[in-house]
Chain A
Amino acid sequence: MNDHAANAAELSYVRVFAAPRELVFRCMIEPEHLTHFWGPAGMHTPLENIKVDPRPGGVFETVMVNDSDGSQYAMRAVFVEVIEPERLVWTDSDTGVTTTSTFRDLGDARTEVHIRQANVPVAFRSQQAQAGFSTSLDRFASYVGAMSGDRDR
């Protein structure tokens, strides 16, 4: 499936956590955990608005709230695949972006989480990307370059 998805030139993000895989996986699907970290800096994610039904076709919904002005940002997604504790795939119902999270046990209670997002227009790094392209494409290129150290191309 990696090869299949690779031509979409997905976004890729990797982080190693000092925790066992089962725990890290649970953090990604249990509202009681998600509420602690799902919102990025400056945002929180109220527990009562988190819906997670971790099975194919089940919903994954969160509402992130801006700490300073209270503005809200809702995410609505549907799980495509749930393989505990290895793999989670969901598709955002609004953007169509598909996010695949893989959890790799590195031993020593360390876990690598690899987030891949497909259906985003990063495919510009392909041979179609040309010199003289717009500022945006330069930004795409540097972005993809920075992110791609973790996998073969």
Chain B
Amino acid sequence: MAVAADRLDATFIALADPTRRAIVARLATGDATVNELAGPFTMTLPGISKHLKVLERCGLITRTRRAQFRPCHLEPAALDAAADWIEENRRIWRERFDKLDDHLRDLQQPPPATRKDTAHE
């Protein structure tokens, strides 16, 4: 359950922003230049570029060096890492609650000698 800390954190932070999610959604349909990405947004090119840098830093997108257009490309593997984290997290809660269920049952049916579970100062 090792969470690859830094990059994954950066991925979540990157995806916490609706504009950046929209950019990712757009890139899922194919590579695009900054200009093409800026189209649907009421945002300046520098504003879009700033978002792209965040996405690039966490590995969600890459930009080719080709010409001055530098099309942006979505890296699905980075997204997979985030999806894995979510599935893992869900599994943890499910299993945690399975155990809590058992624990609550134990607490409410205290066996004769072992009531340590309910004790707390």
Contact = CB atoms under 8 A, between A and B. Distances in A.
A73 B92 CA distance: 12
Contacts of B8: 95
Nearest to B28: A133
Contacts of B5: 94
A32 B120 contact: yes
Given A19-B107, A41-B95, A130 B25 contact: yes
Contacts of A64: 1
B104 A136 contact: no
Interface stretch (A53-61, A82-90, A121-129): A121-129
B87 A139 contact: yes
Interface of A is mostly: mixed
A23 B107 contact: yes
Interface stretch (B14-22, B44-52, B64-72): B14-22
B12 interface: yes
A120 interface: yes
A111 B90 CA distance: 20
B83 A120 contact: no
A129 B87 contact: no
A46 interface: no
A19 B104 contact: yes
B37 to A, nearest CB: 13
A36 B107 CA distance: 11
Contacts of B89: 11, 117, 120
Interface of B: 1-3, 5, 8-9, 11-13, 15-16, 18, 21-22, 25, 28-29, 74, 76, 79-80, 82-83, 85-87, 89-108, 117, 119-120
